[in-house]
Amino acid sequence: MWINLIIYFATFVIAVVAYFKWSFGYWKKQGVPYLPSSIPFGTMNNPFTLSEAIADNVFRQYMESKALGYKYVGLYGLTIPQFMVIDPQLIKNVLIKDFQHFTDRGFYYNEKDDPLSAHLFSLAGQKWRRLRAKLTPTFTSAKMKTMNKFVVSCGYQLRDALAVRCAQGPIDIKDLLERYTTNVIGSCAFGIECNSFTDPSNEFCKYTKKQFLPTTFQNLKMFVSFMFPSFAEMIRMKVVTEGVTNFFMKTVRESVEIRKGTSEVRNDFLQILIELMKSERSDNNGDAITIEEVAAQAFLFFLAGFETSSSTMSFCLYELSQNQDVQQKVRDEIDAVLKKYDGEITYDALKEMEYMGCVINETLRKYPPVPVLNRKCVLDYQIPNTDVIIEKGINVVIPLIGLQRDPDYFDDPEKFDPDRFTKSNIEKVTQFSYMPFGEGNRICLGLRFGLMQTKIGLLLMLKNFKFSLSDKTQTPIQLNPICFVLSVQGGIWLNAEKISEAK
């Protein structure tokens, strides 16, 4: 009997190994250069040993492929083939010129069982096209101007909280800024005051933390949903936990009800989404936006705005703490522009702060909050001037973090140098080597809003406080391998010193 068991086991192992070897032959058959893969994770890192952050892994693969002279390279996530584009010209084809072959992002969503997952970022095909067209007018400059005052009011709360915290020792700057972005999104996307500085135990803070806390189970679900979307659909997987879904659905329903009962109009995202729901109903064209869709988009604005902008501001202050001359130059610009606008933080005043814009651009270059862009090939695509076909269904990866730290495109890439983005220098940047907001038809829809909240947060902090690096920050910083987003191990700790009476 033991002999039989050993034979069965050996046969099973041989079959599994043979399956992996056969799968790893895909890119060779397609005529695509590839990086060495190993059983069972392919070219991915072992997610259980947590040896390297995803961004570091992508950067390494990009540099290795570039050094080998590849314009594109085949990778494997387990046995699933992935196509990484290295050459900016081919990136342009994927994102813009031949977009019809790459319209989807390839992320899992499930409208029925997990309604909040069906937001614009994940939606595919016609559903994405329809919603993108409807939501685009939400983010015009005129709409940003009306929302500016809500963000400024949250900025003052941030300044006041910092005034209290700075006397208590080094500050975990990411934690502080997450509270600011929570307040902003609470106010603009849900129409509620979150008070996350003064009342950190409030429900909104509790559920936002819950969604972003990288538990092993949550990471496993993200991994399965990304690698095996059909399987995730089959088991009706929920990427947003039930508690979080119930809370956000309830919050949106209540806010909509409250607004029905008042004549006062609050010009925020939620109002725009409600108007969209009402106008479509009256059109009676059977294409109305439902309350679930409204909730999913408000939830996306929260997902997209919470982490990206707090991460940008944290890395920016980290760099400015080590580049005091740059920090002072931004502060001088803030003072000069605000003087012109009688101290009022208007949308136009923000636009005039060009040097601050360069500093933010340089931060987004070194630390892109979304380190890779994803597309799914939806129609076979022949790479121009080659016989290579990217087959329908293949996931395409664009390694932003690699391109933006590539010495061929950015001299001395480790150096923090905002002058790369001055009016006269920006034209020298190689096209499609710098795209922290993505590019083409699926470019970030909230770009203007993200920059507005980042600028307002930085303005109110830099105007009133001088920042320096605390010994508590472990340098050189290491990225946290358990997080999908760029997060620093041990956190970024800064000292803040008041430089004027906060006004």
Q: Work out how close the CB of 423 gets to ligand HEM at its nearest, in angstroms, rounded to a whole number.
A: 21
CA-to-CA distance for 451 and 309, rounded, in angstroms?
8
User: x/- contact string, 352-391, with ligand HEM (CB under 6 A)?
Assistant: ------------x----xx--x------------------
Name the residue nearer to ligand HEM (CB basis): 115 or 170: 115
By CB under 6 A, is residue 312 in contact with ligand HEM? yes
Q: Work out how close the CB of 375 gets to ligand HEM at its nearest, in angstroms, rounded to a whole number.
A: 7
By CB under 6 A, is residue 143 in contact with ligand HEM? no
CA-to-CA distance for 326 and 87, rounded, in angstroms?
33
Nearest one of 349, 331, 397 to 58, comparing CA atoms:
397
CA-to-CA distance for 24 and 143, rounded, in angstroms?
50
CA distances from 150 to 134, 180, 194, 237 (A): 23, 12, 12, 36
Total number of residues that touch ligand HEM (CB under 6 A): 26
- Binds ligand HEM (CB under 6 A): choice among 308, 314, 327, 480: 308
- Binds ligand HEM (CB under 6 A): choice among 88, 186, 191, 305: 305
CA-to-CA distance for 1 and 278, rounded, in angstroms?
71
Name the residue nearer to ligand HEM (CB basis): 38 or 100: 100
CA-to-CA distance for 156 and 270, rounded, in angstroms?
22
Cβ-Cβ contacts under 8 Å for 385 (sequence gap 6 or more): none
Q: Work out how close the CB of 452 gets to ligand HEM at its nearest, in angstroms, rounded to a whole number.
A: 9
Name the residue nearer to ligand HEM (CB basis): 35 or 116: 116
Q: Work out how close the CB of 369 gets to ligand HEM at its nearest, in angstroms, rounded to a whole number.
A: 5
Distance spanning both ends of the chain, measured CA to CA: 83
Q: Show the tokens assigned to 42.
A: 């392919």
- Binds ligand HEM (CB under 6 A): choice among 247, 248, 301, 318: 301
Query: Within a 10 A sphere around the Cβ of 191, how many other Cβ atoms?
Result: 22
Name the residue nearer to ligand HEM (CB basis): 184 or 349: 184
Q: Work out how close the CB of 308 gets to ligand HEM at its nearest, in angstroms, rounded to a whole number.
A: 3
Per-residue 3-state assignment (H helix, E strand, C coil) for 401-437: HHHHCCCCCCCCCCCCCHHHHCHHHHCCCCCCCCCCC
Name the residue nearer to ligand HEM (CB basis): 35 or 158: 158
Residue 456, phi-psi category: left (phi > 0), alpha (psi -120 to 50), beta (remainder): alpha
Burial 107-118 (b: 16+ CB within 10 A, else e): bbbbeeebbbbb
Count of all residues that appear for the chain in the document: 503
Q: Could you give the residue ranges of the DSSP H alpha helices within 240-288?
A: 242-260, 269-283
CA distances from 166 to 452, 464, 467 (A): 25, 11, 10
CA-to-CA distance for 331 and 198, rounded, in angstroms?
27
Q: Which stretch binds ligand HEM (CB under 6 A): 32-40, 63-71, 435-443, 457-465?
A: 435-443
Q: Which stretch binds ligand HEM (CB under 6 A): 66-74, 190-198, 276-284, 432-440?
A: 432-440
Name the residue nearer to ligand HEM (CB basis): 248 or 301: 301
Q: Which stretch binds ligand HEM (CB under 6 A): 47-55, 208-216, 230-238, 298-306?
A: 298-306
- Binds ligand HEM (CB under 6 A): choice among 239, 256, 304, 488: 304
Name the residue nearer to ligand HEM (CB basis): 302 or 465: 302
Name the residue nearer to ligand HEM (CB basis): 166 or 396: 396
Distance of CA 36 to the CA centre of its chain: 29
User: x/- contact string, 35-54, with ligand HEM (CB under 6 A)?
Assistant: --------------------
Span 106-125, contacts to ligand HEM by CB under 6 A: 120-121
Q: Work out how close the CB of 223 gets to ligand HEM at its nearest, in angstroms, rounded to a whole number.
A: 20
Does 444 count as an annotated binding residue?
Answer: yes
Span 437-496, contacts to ligand HEM by CB under 6 A: 437-439, 442-446, 449-450, 454
Q: Which stretch binds ligand HEM (CB under 6 A): 77-85, 200-208, 377-385, 433-441?
A: 433-441
Instruction: Report the alpha-carbon angle 104-108-112, nearest 5.
Output: 115
| Contact by Cβ (8 Å): 69, 106 | no
Annotated binding site: 444
Annotated binding site for heme: 444
**Interacting residues toward ligand HEM by CB under 6 A:** 120-121, 132, 300-301, 304-305, 308-309, 312, 364, 369-370, 373, 436-439, 442-446, 449-450, 454
